[in-house]
Amino acid sequence: MDFHLTKFQQDIFELVKDVSIKKLNDGNIFEDDDKQAFSREKWKSCAETDIFALSLEEQYGGMGESMLTMALAIQALGRYCNDEGLIFSACAHFCTCIVPIWQLGTEFLKEKYLPKLLTGEYIGGNGSTEADAGSDLSSMITKVTKDGNDYLLNGSKIFVTNGPIADVLILYGIHQDGIKLANISGFVVEKGFLGASVGQTFHKMGLRTSPLAEIILNDCRIPEENLLGRERFGIMGFNKSMYWERILMSAYHLGAMEQQFNIALDYSKKRKQFNTRIKDFQSVSNKLVEMRANIETSKWLLYNVCWKYDTGKVDLADASMVKLVVSNAKVKNSLDAVQIFGAYGYMKEYLVEKQLRDSIAATIYSGTSEIQKKIISENLENIDG
């Protein structure tokens, strides 16, 4: 394994850092968090770094870079941008919408949607989860039927990240005949398609600046050419995007943990009790040490899995492993950071209160920790590659 970063990788890290500091931390993040407010301005600035285009081939308007490059860029975002909701929305946009179209779409779909998605002019997302189908996607009940040359979708999807603001969503539905898992199809659905509407929105504990909603499908009409991949093989597309989602969300968490660590270290040096910097109490410094150990473990596991992906050695279990370890580390570190701040960590004066709320869903979305364990346990032989 080569630990050397290319000039391009260093440059993109610096660029994202710069834009984060200068443009993405504008405004009052605590107010935006309160109001669950998403900022178009910030979204544009984020997209202008070309972050969404890094890993795609040049023919689709991309830069032909690796998973590792993409991970480094997202890590920079996590480290320097204080709006985790925005980062989460960006990750969802890329991993759950761009990736499936890129990996499985026809040339027609790629040409039609990728350019606008890569520049951020379009916002994307996906809807797979339903009220009664979360971990078990095969039990979804959103119905697919054929009507002439069109498909019709009927049902509803919940917890759709970017749902209220999306221009394009990948939506999954199930055919009424045949066996369960080999019966799900994915579709590229535009905001303007008849029969798709935004339903209930949610009061989330964290990631509040990332809009989340239910999408209601009432005879939603989709032209045949917007089928994603092969009919009834939608789960394949879903699994493809899961590699990217589990790895890149971990990159965001790694960056966020670094940011949080610096804030906590700084506070522990400034806050005095008993005429002593609290950092000099071992009870406090031990927490800092454990936080750092979690960061280092996450970092090198992540880079290793990126390297495996880029060299074609990756298994689904690798992506699950990094997701399991890093999301767990993030929740732990966030709890420790609040503890180091005492009462000040319990309120919106420093970022650590928000970071804790933002972190807690990490062990749930993109497959819960239990599901990652299930995947790893079924692939224990494959991971030693």
Ligand X SMILES: Cc1cc2nc3c(=O)[nH]c(=O)nc-3n(C[C@H](O)[C@H](O)[C@H](O)COP(=O)(O)OP(=O)(O)OC[C@H]3O[C@@H](n4cnc5c(N)ncnc54)[C@H](O)[C@@H]3O)c2cc1C
Question: Residues interacting with another protein, by CB under 8 A?
Answer: 30, 34, 129, 132-136, 138-139, 158-159, 202-206, 273-274, 281, 283-284, 331, 335, 338-339, 342-343, 345-349, 353, 356-357, 360-361, 363-365, 368-370, 373-374
As measured in angstroms, the least distance from the Cβ of 203 to another protein is 4
Give me the least distance between CB of 113 and another protein, in Å please.
27
Q: For residues 10 and 286, which CB has a smaller minimum distance to ligand X in the complex?
A: 286
Closest contact distance (angstroms) between CB of 235 and ligand X is 13
**Cα–Cα distance between 124 and 93 in angstroms, integer?**
5
> Alpha-carbon distance 57 to 114, whole Å?
11
- Alpha-carbon span 275 to 365, nearest angstrom: 44
What is the SS3 assignment for 228? strand
User: How far is Cα of residue 184 from the mean position of the Cα atoms in its chain?
Assistant: 23
Which entry of ligand X, another protein, none binds 233, CB below 5 to 8 A by partner kind?
Answer: none
Q: Given the complex with ligand X, which of 154 and 368 has the nearer CB atom?
A: 368
Selection from ligand X, another protein, none that 128 binds (CB < 5 to 8 A by kind) is ligand X
Closest-CA residue to 110 (of 128, 125, 97): 97
Binding site for ligand X (CB under 6 A): 92, 96, 125-129, 134-135, 159-161, 207, 212, 271, 273-274, 278, 281, 283-284, 339-340, 342-344, 346, 361, 364-365, 367-368, 370-371, 374
> In 3D, which of 350, 72, 365 has the Cα closest to residue 212?
365
Taking the least distance from each CB to ligand X, the nearer of 66 and 268 is 268
In the complex, least distance from residue 353 CB atom to another protein, rounded to whole angstroms: 5
Taking CA atoms, 325 is separated from 114, 312, 364, in Å, by: 32, 22, 13
Q: Given the complex with another protein, which of 62 and 206 has the nearer CB atom?
A: 206
- Quick one: what does residue 202 bind among another protein, ligand X, none, with the CB cut-off 5 to 8 Å set by partner type? another protein
Nearer to ligand X, 23 or 373 (CB): 373
- d(C-alpha 157, C-alpha 213), whole Å: 8
Q: Which of 143, 348 has the CB closer to another protein?
A: 348
Buried b (16+ CB within 10 A) or exposed e, 333-345: bbebbbbbbeeeb
Is 245 designated active site? yes
Q: What is the rounded CA–CA span in Å between residue 355 and residue 259?
A: 10
Shortest distance in whole angstroms from residue 108 CB to ligand X: 25
Decide which of another protein, ligand X, none touches 125; Cβ closer than 5 to 8 Å per partner kind: ligand X
Q: Which of 130, 214, 245, 353 is catalytic?
A: 245
Angle of helix 316-341 relative to helix 282-310, nearest 10 degrees?
160
Distance in Å, CB of 138 to another protein, minimum: 8
The entry of another protein, ligand X, none that residue 248 binds, CB within 5 to 8 Å by partner kind: none
Q: Phi, psi (5° rounding) for residue 85?
A: -60, -45
Q: What is the CB-side half-sphere exposure of residue 199 using CA atoms within 13 A?
A: 17
Two structure tokens written together for 317: 């279990």
Contacts of 258 (CB under 8 A, 6+ apart): 75, 78, 79, 295
- Rounded to an integer, what distance in angstroms lies between the CA atom of residue 375 and that of residue 369? 10
Residue 356's binding partner, choosing from another protein, ligand X, none, with beta-carbon cut-off 5 to 8 A by kind? another protein
Nearest to 47 by CA among 120, 114, 97: 120
Catalytic residues: 245
